[in-house]
Chain A
Amino acid sequence: MFKDVTIGQYYPADSILHKLDPRVKFLGTVIFIVSVFLVRGFAGYAFVTAVLVTLIALSKVPFRFMLKGLRAILIILCITMIFNMFLTPGEVIFQKWIFKITREGVIQAVRMGVRLAYLVIGSSIMTLTTTPNQLTDAMESLFSPLKVVHAPVHEIAMMMSIALRFIPILMEETDKIMKAQIARGADFESGGIVKRIMNMIPLLVPLFVSAFRRANDLAMAMEARCYHGGEGRTQMKPLKYSGRDIVAYILIIGFLAGCIFFRITRL
């Protein structure tokens, strides 16, 4: 049920982006991020913005969910913009004491701000429309060529999906144990740093005990079902490209070509 997907921020909806193969979305996101750093001029950004707005509309996810990710990096965003504004050399347009703002600085700050914001919104679109499990499947499939050089791609993907599966369980467990200890008068909120750390013991010990127990149970259950690693293992729901995925790839390549064009022409 919903507890499976609380990690990441998957937003269930019935849109073309949700239905797309996760590999397409993963590669598309990578290309989008590259493009955001590729384009420099006004026309280029207008083009990227238009594509982004279209994607947001297609995703059927309310825009405020994408802004949530933005809120998390607000401080980094501000710091980056301020540093760029004050520290870029060039034509001075404002000066007070040792601080001076240059024309180039303002442009650079706006550019960096837009880049970071687009980067976050772009990857949010992927995580909002793709479940974490689909994402690990996509990564396993995309990185499988590395198996040739004996990279444990399957094992890493398996570990990632187990970790993803365990995060909500452990969060729930933390919440439960915390409440149980609060009911016994535990205090997790007041006191100095040392006291606070000491106060965490009644939470951490049971949490570790239960995490190890769960890990042990899972290992047993996997072994009981003859799990033996990735060799020769098939998937229950293998990823398969359909017509719309091909179209999406063509559009992505077109988008990349467009961005390269804007870069070369410096528009």
Chain B
Amino acid sequence: MILELKNVSFTYSRGTTYSVKALDNINLSIDEGQFIGVIGHTGSGKSTLIQHLNGLMQPTEGQVFYEGQDIWGSTDPAEQGKKKVSKKNRYDLRSLRTHVGLVFQYPENQLFETDVISDVSFGPKNQGLDETEIRRRAEEALRQTGVAEKFWKVSPFELSGGQKRRVAIAGVLAMNPKVLILDEPTAGLDPQGRDDILDQIKKLHDERGITILLVSHSMEDVANYADRIIVVNDGKIADDGTPKEVFSHYRELEKMGLAAPQTTYIVNELAERGMDVDTTATTITEAKESILKALLEKGQLRKGETFV
């Protein structure tokens, strides 16, 4: 278990007429190496939730643990359980943020340097690494996010939206985080750019073993990439499980203003009409295989024959 939330609640503008309870008693544990999709409709509290994971926001109630250590508690066991933590025993939040990298929604708005590679170097520089290591990390991150070398020396403001997005993701990746959290990394990108970025993220997960949290509005995306899905609704965790488990509750999801991937609807519709398909298929490949199998068993399709 790398990250854990215990009874976390958060209220915006507490004590005023505008107070909003954005998180309500959240319990959550995240294991190393998971690829987690976080879904929920607009305003459900996803962004608020993920900002608690790297100590950017302090919960109004509850505790956040990183590798078993309470990040708002004292590092000195003698002081544990006290409300007030003395300055020298405070948890090092800056180093936590290099372990838990957070890419915000529309991260291209944070670019500021004169050229791409210096911008990506900002994170490692803040970690206090030496020149060569900073350079190595920045180049590696840019390669991993697929930014071509000819762009490394240009101003980030001259890039296209999708390229800026990659540079911004590289800026977080260059810190070598163990956990990478991405808040809607594909918002506003074309289908090609979206698939590229998601494939790169998947590769990072598979090759570097980084734990990934992907906030997304697209059910197809999370079904294709995630091995666990967390559904946030009204500041609470409404569902948590494998994509198959979560999307099998698609009627509940609809009540929350969400939906299952299109394939779930197709296989369910087919099953209702008497076809023997696997209704838990969530990706297009799974659905295709299940439909072909059903057709084959029914004798409507000869062996070796396919549609596509």
Interface residues of A (CB under 8 A from B): 2, 11-12, 173, 176-177, 179-187, 201-202, 205-206, 209-210
Contact = CB atoms under 8 A, between A and B. Distances in A.
15 contacts: A176-B109, A180-B109, A181-B122, A182-B97, A183-B101, A183-B102, A184-B172, A184-B175, A185-B94, A185-B98, A186-B122, A187-B94, A201-B112, A202-B110, A206-B111
B251 to A, nearest CB: 31
B107 interface: yes
Contacts, number: 59
B171 interface: yes
A124 to B, nearest CB: 16
A205 B97 contact: no
Nearest to A62: B17
B104 A184 contact: no
Given A11-B17, A180-B104, A209-B157, A185 B111 contact: no
Nearest to A201: B112
Nearest to A176: B104
Contacts of B51: 179
Contacts of A210: 109
A91 B19 CA distance: 54
A168 to B, nearest CB: 12
Interface centre among B51, B102, B112 (most CB of A within 10 A): B112
Interface size class on chain B is: 20 to 34
Nearest to A186: B126
B171 A184 contact: yes
Nearest to A177: B110
Contacts of B123: 184-185
B126 A184 contact: yes
B104 A12 contact: no
B9 interface: no
Contacts of B56: 179, 182-183
B307 interface: no
Q: Which 6 A-B pairs have the closest CB atoms?
A: A185-B126, A205-B112, A180-B110, A184-B123, A183-B102, A180-B104
Given A12-B17, A184-B126, A202-B122, 15 more contacts: A177-B109, A179-B51, A180-B107, A180-B109, A181-B110, A182-B97, A183-B101, A183-B102, A184-B175, A185-B175, A187-B126, A202-B110, A202-B112, A206-B109, A209-B157
Contacts of A202: 110, 112, 122
A185 B102 CA distance: 11
Nearest to B97: A183
Interface string B154-197: 00010000000000000110010000000000000000000000
A210 B164 CA distance: 14
